Amino acid sequence: MRDHRRPGVLAAVIAAMLLALTGCVGIPGSGPVNAGLSLSEDSTGSNIAFNPQGPEAGASQQSILRGFVASFTSATGGYAVSKQFLSSDFKTKWDPRQSVQVRSGTPSISQLGAASLAYSFDTLATVDSTGAYSQTSQSFTLPFSFVKEGNQWRISAASDGIVLADQTFERIFRQYPLYFLDQQNQYFVPDVRWYPIGTASTRIVTALLAGPPDWLKGAAFSRFPDGTKLSDAGSVITPADGVAQVDLSKEALVASARDRQNMYLQLSQSLRSVSSISQVRLSIQGAPVQADDPGTAGPQVDFSVNSQALVLRRKEFGFYANNRVADLAGISTKVLSLGPRDATISSDQQEVAVLGSAGVSVVRKTGTVALIDPRPDLIAPSLDEAGYTWSVPKSAPNAINVYDPSGTAHPISAKLQDGSQMISLAVSREGARVLMLLSTPTGPRLMVAAILRNEKLEPTGIGPAVVDVSLGNGVAVDATWVDQWTVGTLLTADGQSRVELYAIGGQKTALSSLVPSRQIVGGNKGENGLHVLGRDDSTLYSWGGSSWQSAKVAVDFIATQR
Q: What CATH number was assigned to the domain covering residues 11-173?
A: 3.10.450
So what's the pLDDT on residue 400?
A: 97
Question: 471 Cβ partners below 8 Å, 6+ apart?
Answer: 443, 444, 445, 446, 489, 491, 500
pLDDT tens per residue, range 453-500: 999 999 999 999 999 999 989 999 999 999 999 999 999 999 999 999
CB neighbours (10 Å) of residue 521? 31
* H/E run at residue 335: helix 332-336
* Length, in residues, of the chain: 562
Contact 516, 534 (CB under 8 A): yes
pLDDT tens per residue, range 216-233: 999 999 999 999 999 886
Eight-class DSSP state of 265: H
Nearest to 479 by CA among 357, 338, 375, 379: 379
Rounded to an integer, what distance in angstroms lies between the CA atom of residue 352 and that of residue 156?
A: 65
Contact 222, 212 (CB under 8 A): yes
CB neighbours (10 Å) of residue 546? 8
Report residue 27's pLDDT band, with 50, 70 and 90 as the boundaries. Answer: very low
Report residue 406's pLDDT band, with 50, 70 and 90 as the boundaries. Answer: very high
Rounded to an integer, what distance in angstroms lies between the CA atom of residue 468 and that of residue 31?
A: 8
pLDDT tens per residue, range 430-451: 999 999 999 999 999 999 999 9
% of residues, the chain, pLDDT over 90: 79
Contact 419, 410 (CB under 8 A): no
pLDDT tens per residue, range 108-155: 999 999 999 999 999 999 999 999 999 888 999 999 999 999 999 999
So what's the pLDDT on residue 217?
A: 94
So what's the pLDDT on residue 136?
A: 83
Instruction: Tell whether the model's pLDDT for residue 259 goes beyond 50.
Output: yes
Rounded to an integer, what distance in angstroms lies between the CA atom of residue 467 and that of residue 215?
A: 10
What residue spans define the domains of the chain? 11-173, 182-297, 310-561
∠ CA(367), CA(369), CA(373), 5° rounding? 135
pLDDT tens per residue, range 381-390: 999 999 999 9
Query: Which pTM does this prediction carry?
Result: 0.85
Average pLDDT, whole number, for the chain?
Answer: 89
CATH classification (class only), 310-561: mainly beta
- Does residue 131 sit in helix, strand or coil? coil
Higher pLDDT, 317 or 292: 317
Instruction: Tell whether the model's pLDDT for residue 452 goes beyond 50.
Output: yes
Rounded to an integer, the average pLDDT of 209-221 is 95
